[in-house]
Amino acid sequence: MVASSEARRGAHDQAALDEIELAGELMIAATASPEERLAPERIDQVLLEHGQDDDARDAGEDAGSSAETVPGDAPGTDVGSV
């Protein structure tokens, strides 16, 4: 039960961090804009770029997690000696 609540907390933490990062990117774009308000097209562009960055990062994580680990392959994990 504890692992489940910890996993949920981690997911909420990641969602909060993603929102903070996105808000920061929008603030940077707004600050760099010569206009008083950020145009909806520019907001869309920032959101799309953020989504593409997430997709690229996720693809990299997926590629890294596809390697199989076999007990005893890593140093100090020899299951034959007790």
Domain coordinates in residue numbering, the chain = 12-56
Q: Kindly indicate the confidence band of residue 5, based on its pLDDT and cuts at 50, 70 and 90.
A: low
Q: Is the pTM of this model over 0.75?
A: no
Q: Kindly indicate the confidence band of residue 69, based on its pLDDT and cuts at 50, 70 and 90.
A: very low
Q: Distances in Å between the alpha carbon of 22 and those of 28, 48, 61, 63?
A: 10, 11, 20, 25
